[in-house]
Structure 1
């Protein structure tokens, strides 16, 4: 699974870099907003092809969030299943009810909250690395510079809205996944 993550990050980083640059483009009133093609030209002129891969190291670090999420999710899911397990009878009922899926949603929400909170600094670092004309040069240099200049809280700037978006999305996605697996297993 990490290989797929590395491949996807490498292939899509130029798109995300352009998106971030366009979001950060602060023009004075009356000036025309930069479009995607202008942004591509600007990045290429400034840094060549290599410029499209700024922030990729932070994206690679973000793979840890997925790993942490799944480890915690599977652990909570296993504990939920053990708690529900019937006494040792030969007649095992493997059917699921709505409470099982609610439990899976809560497990997903909990695990995503933990994983995102632990790994969130990579999001801030990635954005800083993708800024145009920035003093940030590498993952570790940015990781040390931001807290030194702005305090450690700066590594968590934007965490709350990120969680508000991620938690429901992950809970629904994991519940849907578990439901499809349940249906396929009959």
Structure 2
């Protein structure tokens, strides 16, 4: 692939691996909660005589620097295939949380409004489903969610890696943020395009039985019945609105994460109390290698 850009060496690879090793959800809330809880526990249990962390920010920087390369490190080296596999692993693992949450979202969106509504909220929805259908009901659509998330996350992170390299996203570039926004938004669109028909099937399976008797016996039966009733266009229903949402959401997500990681790793790599040299003898950025080489 050639020389990795300085930005990617310090930022982007860490993102999919942390999803695969800890956060495990596509929404913003649970990863944030997971990271915050990790900071809390580490700060609470460290030795007061010889504290490992100076505070929350230092704890965050240390975690980013030391622990963000597990998947790529296990795969051996940074390559397009391994970027795809790292993203796919993240997508597969986060299905455990994503599937029940999307089931609740689907049921809440389809229920009747007003006093006649069945569910009072997401937790009440999942609790009722569990009482009526057990754990299998809570995980309805898990197979189709796995089929959607695994390849789409691989495409997601691979596309972002390729695009940021192609655009020359370097930390000193004055157009860095616009380039990151373009790469992130485009990656989100490509990710949805890669598996959107599977998402249609997943939504139909999760909504099945909400109003009347269940219609589908599984993924293939849902595909067969949907195609017979509405033709191939049924698998693109809602695609335009999804893509319109995907670009700004993923543009903001990737740009924010990359900038924060670049800052955090840069600060951690710099010795405490040392000022940045005014005129370095050779081009230098924060001395931090690709997570796969740590």
TM bin (shorter chain): 0.7 to 0.9
Cα gap change, 1:174 to 1:42, in 2 (>3 Å): closer
1:54-65 paired onto structure 2 within 5 Å: 54-63=140-149, 64-65=151-152
Partner of 1:10: 96
Cα gap change, 1:53 to 1:144, in 2 (>3 Å): same
Any conservation in 1 of the 2:91–2:153 contact (CA below 8 Å)?
A: no
Paired residues in the alignment total: 172
Bigger helix share: 1
Q: TM-score, normalised by structure 2?
A: 0.52
Over the aligned positions, Cα root-mean-square deviation in angstroms equals 2.5
Inter-partner Cα distance in structure 1 for 2:115 and 2:257: 47
Inter-partner Cα distance in structure 1 for 2:195 and 2:205: 16
Any conservation in 2 of the 1:65–1:119 contact (CA below 8 Å)?
A: yes
Any conservation in 2 of the 1:105–1:175 contact (CA below 8 Å)?
A: yes
1:99 aligned onto 2:185: no
Partner of 1:152: 232
Query: Any gaps of 5 or more consecutive residues in structure 1?
Result: 85-93
Partner of 1:172: 252
Any conservation in 1 of the 2:144–2:198 contact (CA below 8 Å)?
A: yes
Inter-partner Cα distance in structure 1 for 2:91 and 2:171: 34
Aligned with 1:120: secondary structure? helix
1:33 aligned onto 2:33: no
Please state how far the C-alpha of 1:5 moved relative to its aligned partner: 3.7
Aligned with 1:135: secondary structure? coil
1:51 aligned onto 2:158: no
Cα gap change, 1:98 to 1:152, in 2 (>3 Å): farther
1:138 aligned onto 2:224: no
Inter-partner Cα distance in structure 2 for 1:139 and 1:102: 40
Aligned with 1:79 (options 143, 152, 166): 166
Q: TM-score, normalised by structure 1?
A: 0.78
Inter-partner Cα distance in structure 1 for 2:90 and 2:194: 22
Cα gap change, 1:179 to 1:134, in 2 (>3 Å): same
Aligned with 2:186: secondary structure? helix
Aligned with 2:117: secondary structure? coil
Query: Any gaps of 5 or more consecutive residues in structure 2?
Result: 1-19, 21-87, 267-285, 287-294
